[in-house]
Amino acid sequence: TLMTERSGKLKAIAKGAKSSRSMIAATTQPFTLGEFVLDVGASWNRVRSVEVLESFRHIQGDLMLMGYGAYFLETASQLLQEGEENRGLFQLLSEVLTGLNAYDHRQKRKKEAEDLEADRSSEETAALDLEWVKIVYELKLLAAMGFEIELKRCVRCGAEGAHVDFSVPEGGAVCSNCLVDGDDRIGRMLFNIMDYVSKQSIDVLMETKINRLYISKLDILCMRFMKQHLGYQDFKSLEFLKAIRKV
C-alpha cells in the first residue's frame, strides 16, 4: 500500500520484491519515502521503478521508534479511503516521521548512561517525549481528516469564552450555561495546549515540553474523540507499543 501526495492511498504490486536479489525489494519496505513510477491497471497498479528519497533508517533500526511510526502509518492507512487525496495528511506523516528519524532512541539511552553524573536538566531538555509526539500527531490527524476540535466557541450556543468543559460527542468546548451531565471538565490548560498544537508546526511541537499529567489526560481525550468521530479501532500497532513498553 502506498500513501501518495496527489492520489491518496494506492495499492500496487512490486514484482520480484520478495527476492533478495531484487533491486526493488529494499524500496518497498515500510518507512520509505520515494518517487514511485507506476503502471496503472484496472484493478492493481504495478511498480515500475522507485527513487528512494528517505529510508528513515533510525526508525527502522529502533524498536520503540518503529512502534510509534507503525501506529502513525496504520491510522493513516485505515482512515484514508483508496484514491482519496489528502495532501495535509501526507505532509503530516512526512513531517512526523522526519522528526522521529532525527531522534535516535538507542543513542539517547547510551548517552544518558555515559553522562550519568552530568547535569540531568540539560538531558531532559534534549529528550523527545514520544507520547507527546503521538498526541501531536493525533490532534493534527483529526484536523487533516476534517474533524478539528472546536476550542473557542461553545458547540451548543456558539458563545465565545475561556471554556473549561468539553463534549466529546459534539466535538468541542461547552459553556457553563449549556453544561449537561456527561460533559467533561478538562480545564483551561488542556484547551490551551490543544490550541497551541493547532497553531504550531511539527518541528516546533517536537521541541516543546509538556507536563506528563497533561499528556496522559490528552491521550485519554484523543482516544475517546477518535473513537467517536473517526470510527477509531484497536490498531495492531498500539498493541505492539504496549508490549514493547513493558520490555
- 242 pLDDT band (50/70/90 cuts)? confident
Residue 117 has pLDDT above 50, yes or no: no
pLDDT digits (tens, 9 = 90+) for 91-109: 999 999 999 998 865 455 5
Q: Mean pLDDT, the chain, as a whole number?
A: 86
- 7 pLDDT band (50/70/90 cuts)? confident
DSSP 3-state of 131? helix
- Nearest by Cα to 35 from 14, 17, 53, 16: 53
User: Would you say 103 and 65 are in contact if contact means Cβ atoms under 8 Å apart?
Assistant: yes
Quote the pTM value.
0.85
d(CA 47, CA 27) in angstroms, rounded, equals 10
- Nearest by Cα to 88 from 150, 206, 5, 32: 5
pLDDT digits (tens, 9 = 90+) for 209-226: 999 999 999 999 999 999
Q: Which residue has the cell 555515559?
A: 114
